[in-house]
Structure 1
Amino acid sequence: MWTVPLILGLLAGVLTSYTDIKTGFIFDNHAFPTLTLIGKLLSWEEDGGEVDLPKWIDKIIIPTAEGGILYYAYLGLKGGNTLLALSGVIGLVVGFILGIMFYYLGAWASGDVVVLAAFSALLPFAPKTASVIPPYGRALPLYSLAILFNSILAVFPFILVYALAVLAIRGKFHELGDVFTGGLKITAEFWIWLIGILGIQEAIATTGFSNSATLWVLGLVLLLVFSKFKAIGNAVGILSLAYLVYSNPVTAFNVSWRMFVVLYTFKVLISTVKYLRTEVLMEEVPVERLQEWDILGETIHELNGEILRDREGAFGRFKRAIAKLDTSILKPKRGRVIASPTAEGLAKEQIEELRKLVEEGKLENSFLRKKAMPFAPALFIGFLMAYFWGDVFWWLVLRVAGFS
């Protein structure tokens, strides 16, 4: 029976990867046809423009998300398992939430969000074919996390080498150093907080309590508390480290340094993605080089009769909002938006208005334009790894803990 998600995943993965690589465009009906139908009813536009694809490609319908929802609804109703029956829908929603986070950070296009959501509906739980199964894929329909982690980690070496090479060629040596040294303080704090959580969970486990789901929820709550009250988190972490070293020094040492290596690796990944988004996959071009469907890397708007441009991305605003505890930063004041970084790209009318503003001297003739990087193939690889092997991130966690 597990061949149903595999077949749908293969069909959707091949088609979305092909169109994404070939044109940078993903058709909703290759992953979530219902979204296409809703778009037509609401007069949304899904048009790949003049793309170099056979005309029949965009006519193919693959009910990937719908198939996953119906598949698990059937299994759940047949076995009297409500959670299993709803798992396809839950997986779809979780996939959308994860994808939208990356979309608003500027790392993904809307099509990537749809692909992750569809794959998440196919694999809300870990399949029987997987051998490395995380707790969030066994007891809860959150296996979409494994698909996401696999996708990112699968392409990380290539992204890292490509980003570092481009930064070096462009002479961005400060940014190059920041990839490896920036954010070390927060990485160390996060490491000590996790050790604190492990110490508390270990202490609870010694009482005979063994509900893993509850311990995971407790861990997430403690992480939120420690991030808010850093001094408390640091103190608890240091005490827990001392307790773990006293209880079993060899295991404590092995777990601690491996955990730090994993966290540092993720720090390098996040820094790489940041510069990939702002330096590597972004270029400044004059208005004459802007074309229809190009995606801007900035927002140009008119406020109180003045033409303004905002080049700060969602990731930068999010960091400032967290640092200042001011949610209003997430929604900057803007007037009439002339052009912005939307997944649909620039329309001809927008380019003409930008050209007119440049000619009138109201705008400098230099615009940030995003370079496309297809991510659908990485999501497809992540799906296949999740189906046949399991969760790479959880495997790393087990390695850190010395269990694999």
Structure 2
Amino acid sequence: MIVDLIPVVLALGSVSVAIYTDLKDRIIPNKLTYPLIVLGIVFYLVRGIYRSDFYFALFGVVGAALGFGIGYAMYLMGGWAGGDVKLFAALGALLPTAPTIDGFPLFTAPWVSFYPFFPVTLFFNSVILAAPALLIYAVLSRLRGGGAFYEEVKLSEIEEGMIPAEIIYEKDGEIERRSPGPLGFLTERLGNPDWDRKLTSPWKAAGFSPHDVEVLRELVRKGKLENRIRIKKGVPFAPAIGAGVFAAIIYGGLYWRIMLAVISA
């Protein structure tokens, strides 16, 4: 039935809009992602009831949960922003399984999943397709003397909404700094000291609040804190996610295709 194409059309349209807004304004709006999550869940619920298939009716919920879980893990590791997480949850709700019409594959994609785990395919496709561009970007950033995903600015010049790339905390009246570490949020939970007060958090999606800005600037004025801080760069990930979606719908899972090619070589 042609109705089976609705999630595909919505997914392709949503990532196209997300790519535009992410590149233009560094934001993926909630008014785009939230309705799509609901639409995806409702679509599979209605189709499942129509087909008398309870398992299929839950595909949207399972896909949204899996998409959110993958995105949130990336967020905790310091990679994605909140908009990326919600976009991936929406794609999981819309595409929990490989696109089909009346149970038959939409395209002759040989490396797909017909169970509600298609967000895994979307994620690996996005990583594979983004890897070369990210590598080039990281090398160029290093050659210019900066980090791939952060830049150093003066604390006296920080603004509301900026997201720090380091932890600044107070312990026994002393101000200390600490890197989030390679495991991001997990590093804080497993290895950080027992501070008296945490002044910056790389995992606060909203970034610096007006109060945070004033507190940090005041510490600089009093000479208690060096006038510098690493700030996360606003790297748009929507293009990579979008590329993964287009590749998954047209071709399928790039990961398995690569693995099979390596094994058979």
Q: Normalising TM by the smaller chain, what interval?
A: 0.7 to 0.9
**Structure 1 393/293 Cα, relative in aligned 2: closer, same or farther at 3 Å?**
same
Letter in 2 for 1:385: A
Matched, 1:111 2:83: yes
Amino acid at match of 2:78: G
Which runs of 5 or more structure 1 residues have no equivalent in the other structure?
Answer: 33-62, 171-277, 322-326
**1:99-138 paired onto structure 2 within 5 Å:** 99-127=71-99, 128-134=105-111, 137-138=113-114
User: What SS does structure 2 have at the residue aligned with 1:26?
Assistant: coil
Contact 1:290 1:351 in 2 (8 A): yes
Paired-residue identity, %: 34
**Residue correspondence of structure 1 range 4-403 to structure 2 within 5 A:** 4-32=6-34, 63-127=35-99, 128-134=105-111, 137-138=113-114, 140-170=115-145, 279-313=147-181, 315=183, 318=186, 329=190, 332-341=193-202, 342-402=204-264
**Most deviating of 112-121 and 74-83:** 74-83
Where does residue 102 of structure 2 map in the other structure?
Answer: none
Aligned counterparts of 1:88 and 1:302: Cα–Cα separation in 2: 45
Q: Which has the larger radius of gyration?
A: 1
What is the alpha-carbon distance in structure 2 between the residues aligned to residue 332 and residue 377 of structure 1?
37
Q: Distance in 2 between matches of 1:316 and 1:72?
A: 35
Q: Is the Cα contact below 8 Å between 1:106 and 1:313 reproduced in 2?
A: no
Contact persistence 1:130–1:386 (CA under 8 A): no
After TM superposition, give the deviation of residue 401 of structure 1 in Å. Answer: 3.3
For residues 284-335 of structure 1, the C-alpha deviation after alignment (integer angstroms, 9 at most, x for no partner) is 21113312211111122233433332223361675xx7xxxxx962565333
Residues 126 and 133, structure 1, Cα contact 8 Å, conserved in 2: no
Normalised to the residue count of structure 1, the TM-score between the two structures is: 0.59
Q: Which has the higher helix share?
A: 1
Query: Across the two proteins, how many residue pairs are aligned to each other?
Result: 257
The amino acid across from 1:366 in the alignment is R
Residue 131 of structure 2 aligns with an amino acid whose one-letter code is F
Q: CA RMSD in A?
A: 2.3
Match of 1:379, SS? helix
Distance in 1, matches of 2:110 and 2:196, equals 49
Label 1:98 to 1:299 Cα distance change in 2 as closer, same or farther (>3 A): same
- Deviating above 6 A after TM superposition, structure 1's stretches of 4 or more consecutive aligned residues are none
Would you say the 8 A contact 1:112–1:376 is kept in 2? Answer: yes
Give the distance between the partners of 1:149 and 1:337, measured in 2 at CA. Answer: 35
How far is 1:94 from its partner?
0.5
Aligned mates of 1:133, 1:113 — CA distance in 2:
28
Structure-2 change in CA distance of 1:288 and 1:381 (3 Å): same
Partner residue of 2:4?
2
Contact 1:105–1:313 under 8 Å retained in 2: no
SS in 2 for 1:295: coil
Which residue type is aligned with residue 21 of structure 1?
L
How far residue 110 of structure 1 moved from its aligned partner, in angstroms, is 1.0
Deviation at 1:402, TM superposition (A): 2.7
Q: 1:398 and 1:130, CA in 2 relative to 1: closer, same or farther beyond 3 A?
A: farther
Structure 1 residues 328 and 284, CA gap change in structure 2 (3 angstroms):
closer
Answer yes or no: is the 8 Å Cα contact 1:126–1:143 preserved in 2.
yes
Between the aligned partners of 2:171 and 2:25, the Cα distance in structure 1 is 35
Decide whether the 8 Å contact of 2:12 with 2:245 is kept in 1.
Answer: no
